[in-house]
């Protein structure tokens, strides 16, 4: 009897594994403008080579979309993103007088935590070779609320900071610290000047910290943090900050490890995930097939983590590390002369 039960259980386990491997993921693809299209095309090429079932569905956003449709972010694109298992976004060119499509899409999806990993790679010349931290940036308010008004003589931008959003992003930072197996979360603010808004942010951070007694905490002013990122970046594990500060510090941090071409990001909420390279649309090099695809591909790796495909995600990250450390096939931003697709194909070769 036990023998037959064991056989049945084994069959059920095999069936369960087969069902899991047959999961079809609906991925919304929004290439945007400039090199966003080129790196997205490279990313799709790589994802097509993986042992995954992905259904790509396409939406429009950005400058060219505005010229075509009269809006930088059509309702159809928002619906597509909301109905998908995850979203891949390339890059968009700013449209004068129009709202940012990526900022608005983040708000529409309520992806309140912008996650930007910063990691040093062998073969990249930098002062520090032991960098491995992440910046967690509040994604829905702050100065990026886009609440501006005034006239030609005086313009005012509202900086909106709420306890709810500050506590929520602090909790996300602490949870990520636990997930990464690290030991410290640093709060970045400017409460000596912005006493009320950043006062709320700092207070919220330390309120949530009480729920994680095993995690060390510290806080620095944003200007001091900018210096510490240059002089002692290896001392950070997880940094949490408001929208504008987090954006600026993450670009600075990318410069420590090879530039924006190696800087991925994920925007995570309770029900949605949006993944994009940190870089912009770079119109100066668009169409030349020399954009570094690694940031986009690493963002796709973050997407696979989000979907629970950890093994394949790790394979992608390992392949990128191998290609970079070999120093043979690199795009111009890393000192090489390879094309976007040459780098992508080299990464694929390391995976398969």
pLDDT for 13 equals 62
pLDDT of residue 5: 54
CB neighbours of residue 8 within 10 Å? 10
All CATH 3.40.718.10 domain ranges in the chain, comma separated = 1-110+263-352, 127-256
Can you list the residues of the chain whose pLDDT is less than 70?
A: 1-22
- Output the pLDDT for position 193: 97
Q: Beta strands 184-189 and 238-241: pairing type?
A: parallel
Residue 180's pLDDT is 96
The pLDDT assigned to 20 comes to: 46
Pick the CATH number of 1-110+263-352 from 3.40.718.10, 3.40.190.10, 3.40.50.720, 3.50.50.60: 3.40.718.10
Q: For the domain 127-256, what is the CATH code? A: 3.40.718.10
Q: Is the pTM of this model over 0.85?
A: yes
Question: Which among 187, 178, 182, 237 has a CA at the least distance from the CA of 207?
Answer: 187
Strands, E, within the chain: which ranges?
24-32, 53-58, 86-91, 113-119, 132-138, 148-150, 155-157, 184-189, 216-221, 238-241, 264-268, 273-277
pLDDT of residue 171: 98
Give the pLDDT of residue 231: 95
């Amino acid at each position: 009897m036990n023998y037959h039960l064991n056989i049945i259980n084994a069959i059920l386990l095999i069936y369960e594994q087969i069902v899991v491997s047959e999961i079809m993921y609906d991925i919304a693809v929004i290439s945007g403008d400039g090199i966003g299209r080129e790196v997205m095309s490279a990313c799709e090429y790589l994802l097509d080579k993986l042992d995954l079932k992905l259904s790509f569905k396409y939406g429009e956003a950005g400058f060219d979309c505005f010229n075509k449709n009269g809006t930088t972010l059509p309702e159809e694109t928002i619906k597509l993103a909301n109905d998908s298992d995850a979203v891949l976004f390339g890059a968009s060119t700013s449209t004068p007088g129009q709202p940012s499509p990526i900022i608005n899409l983040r708000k529409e999806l309520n992806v309140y935590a912008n996650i930007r990993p910063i990691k040093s790679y062998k073969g990249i010349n930098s002062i520090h070779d032991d960098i491995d931290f992440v910046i967690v940036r509040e994604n829905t308010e702050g100065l990026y609320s886009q609440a501006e008004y005034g006239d030609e003589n005086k313009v005012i931008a509202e900086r909106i900071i709420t306890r709810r959003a500050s506590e929520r992003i602090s909790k996300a930072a602490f949870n990520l610290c636990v997930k990464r197996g690290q030991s410290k979360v640093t709060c970045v603010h400017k409460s000596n000047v912005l006493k009320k808004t950043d006062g709320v942010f700092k207070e919220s951070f330390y309120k949530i910290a009480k729920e994680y007694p095993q995690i060390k905490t510290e806080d620095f002013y944003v200007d001091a943090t900018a210096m510490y990122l240059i002089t002692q970046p290896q001392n950070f594990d997880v940094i949490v900050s408001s929208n504008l500060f987090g954006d600026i510090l993450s670009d600075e941090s990318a410069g420590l490890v090879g530039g924006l071409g190696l800087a991925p990001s994920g925007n995570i909420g309770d029900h949605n995930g949006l993944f994009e390279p940190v870089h912009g649309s770079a119109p100066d090099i668009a169409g030349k097939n020399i954009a570094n695809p690694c940031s986009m591909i690493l963002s796709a790796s973050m997407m696979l983590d989000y979907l629970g495909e950890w093994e394949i995600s790790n394979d992608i990250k390992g392949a990128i590390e191998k290609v970079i450390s070999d120093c043979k096939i690199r795009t111009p931003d890393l000192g090489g002369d390879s094309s976007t697709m040459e780098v992508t194909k080299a990464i694929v070769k390391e995976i398969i």
